[in-house]
Structure 1
């Protein structure tokens, strides 16, 4: 029996009562259960202080296990971080570089997956930016940018501005064949796409939970493959980084033998409580059904965009597509179109001069009709008859 998406929409997404929300690639609305978890934490903290810390800590450890399961990792390989940028920085600054090394990065990456690598220039590390061609990142171009001093190749699973899906299996095999560490910015991929770090040779991955995983902002995770835990220099070390974090009678600088060594101090307790609740919803759906549904909703968006007289940009190959849809129309300013859509209670965004539209599992035919009509209005034409009319 399939999922009842209408029931999930009604039970979990009050945002849908007012908005046709197509901006999950930016900041997603949190589900009702996540909002409830945040409320209960705040009320409990106000009424009881830290007397319920054990309950909160148990939920965080359950979240660690759930995230590990989601990407086929081990909980020991998961550290909680403030955001994707934080996770990328821990890898970039902790990697055992030598002067003259280089890192290869696609030029269209989100700045958070470029600037931390560029910041290594004063350590003698070169950042090699590889341009895309026709909204596609060619693996042969990545290969050509690598040499015997390439130590890391860093890519996003899905590019934020174009929605292009990188072939992580092929890139991972390229890295393995060259002895190059493979870093993945996973924030735009997790949810729309499945990731199995045992099958795909990813060494490091980072993601915040506030996009497709429907968590609050400021609560994310870093994956470090087990064999890299002792090779990557730990940064931000503090009381929680050591084995005796809660019980040591004195100083004992013995780092934890797992990724928790990067969790130096107190975590974002409310954010992780909300993230844990959001992930329970996604686990009820399951990674495969979640991916299928999100990709289906993106295809429905592409149909609505075309019906409104807009062009869908990017690769037409299904294997290159994600749940991000990028569109343009002749003579239409995408920023002005996004503003007009908002007046229609439709939320989308602009990235690098294009309109970016990103649905989720609860997106329904009425949302798609409102999107189509708003896009048609942005072109100054009457909405066409069709879906949802």
Structure 2
């Protein structure tokens, strides 16, 4: 695939060698245009144009459902951040004292603190340590017992870049009758997630990383059979079956994930997010994945030849768009400082350099990064 037309959609490429999509990604031109269009419409029309933008929101929901292959568009709901989607499950799950949740030790804090916050309800958090750069499914299995109710993992771990075998973990959860939650923020946009093939009960991801959208607009998914079993949180006017009947109080919640969209929508964010989704879906997630793997394989080969240590697993089914590196002599903060001065965006996590290129990046930009240090 010729990626030059795709790359032309990213103004950042004229200023930065931007290799930090695991943090906050730059917006592509279609998303910027969508933001401008919304702002201009709101300025010119106010509420009179709302129906047009609500139709746009419905369209974006359909794109998001297509992204994860949800059975129904209404199985997908919009979240202001990944934390909100985690809270939907953590706070809404029908816990009883003595239950436990299993998670990996290297999870991002947003996928640890909401579960730790359940101690007042008698819920134990069982933490699975990593084995070097990977999380072993056997260790997850050992951590489970007959009181395990939820397994929560990131599809791709934010610091190491380890990509989980979601199919195997989902099968384990089905075998143990355990709810399976996935923090998908470091995978969606590059690595396909199919909720009809993989037994994921719920997931969440803000759109500002690999999905190339603005912060504050992301998606959640809840499998239909769990909608009535999770206690709804954040309930508001949009949670009910007749959200436009403002003067009629009729507390019947929507029979799908839309019940978790309680308040006003982040309409500009969702509009721009939709433009980025269209860009990615038109490119093809499989094509994007293939290109990102090509780039990260190239980086690992070149870095190793120059004496860097590649911490991330590069096994075929474990590699991701995140590469965690250690320089032979320089600490990660010094590498980061030199790169920023040279117009190169990378990051530092767990004392290592984290490089995360997207499909529009080039081998030349990776060479530029290595040359800068």
TM-score normalised to structure 2 length: 0.98
> 1: distance between equivalents of 2:212 and 2:110?
20
> 2: distance between equivalents of 1:122 and 1:223?
27
Aligned to 2:37: 40
Aligned to 1:218: 216
Which of the residues 23, 35, 45 maps onto 1:26?
Answer: 23
CA contact (8 A) 2:190 2:286 kept: no
Aligned to 1:381: none
Q: Is 1:53 the counterpart of 2:46 in the alignment?
A: no
Aligned to 1:369: 367
Aligned to 2:112: 114
CA contact (8 A) 2:235 2:262 kept: yes
Aligned to 1:191: 189
Aligned to 1:271: 269
> 1: distance between equivalents of 2:314 and 2:258?
41
Which of the residues 337, 344, 347 maps onto 1:346?
Answer: 344
1:250, distance to aligned residue in structure 2 (A): 1.1
> 1: distance between equivalents of 2:171 and 2:192?
18
Q: Is 1:76 the counterpart of 2:71 in the alignment?
A: no
1:75, distance to aligned residue in structure 2 (A): 1.0
CA contact (8 A) 2:203 2:222 kept: yes
Query: SS where residue 96 of structure 2 aligns?
Result: coil
1:305, distance to aligned residue in structure 2 (A): 2.2
Query: SS where residue 54 of structure 2 aligns?
Result: helix
Q: CA deviation digits over 1:200-258, x for unaligned, max 9? A: 10001000000001000010111000100111111010110001101354110011111
> 2: distance between equivalents of 1:235 and 1:273?
25
CA contact (8 A) 2:295 2:363 kept: no
CA contact (8 A) 1:304 1:371 kept: no
Q: Is 1:244 the counterpart of 2:234 in the alignment?
A: no
Which of the residues 146, 157, 163 maps onto 1:159?
Answer: 157
CA contact (8 A) 1:72 1:197 kept: yes
> 2: distance between equivalents of 1:102 and 1:307?
45
CA contact (8 A) 2:307 2:328 kept: no
> 2: distance between equivalents of 1:34 and 1:95?
35
> 1: distance between equivalents of 2:178 and 2:172?
8
Aligned to 2:327: 329
Query: SS where residue 137 of structure 1 aligns?
Result: coil
CA contact (8 A) 2:76 2:219 kept: yes
1:331, distance to aligned residue in structure 2 (A): 2.8
CA contact (8 A) 1:308 1:373 kept: no
1:348, distance to aligned residue in structure 2 (A): 0.1
Greater shift, 140-149 or 329-338, is seen at 329-338
Aligned to 2:284: 286
Q: CA deviation digits over 1:148-202, x for unaligned, max 9? A: 0000000000000000011101111100000000000000011221111111100
> 2: distance between equivalents of 1:265 and 1:108?
33
> 2: distance between equivalents of 1:293 and 1:280?
18
Runs of 4+ in 1 over 6 A off after TM superposition: none
Q: CA deviation digits over 1:19-52, x for unaligned, max 9? A: 0000000000010010010011111111211211
CA contact (8 A) 2:161 2:313 kept: no
Query: SS where residue 22 of structure 2 aligns?
Result: coil
Query: SS where residue 315 of structure 1 aligns?
Result: coil
Which of the residues 5, 8, 29 maps onto 1:7?
Answer: 5
User: How many equivalent pairs are there?
Assistant: 372
1:301, distance to aligned residue in structure 2 (A): 2.1
Residue segments in structure 1 that go unaligned for 5+ positions in a row: 378-389
Greater shift, 128-137 or 365-374, is seen at 365-374
> 2: distance between equivalents of 1:305 and 1:29?
25
> 1: distance between equivalents of 2:184 and 2:327?
30
> 2: distance between equivalents of 1:304 and 1:342?
20
Aligned to 1:66: 63
1:307, distance to aligned residue in structure 2 (A): 4.0
Query: SS where residue 47 of structure 2 aligns?
Result: coil
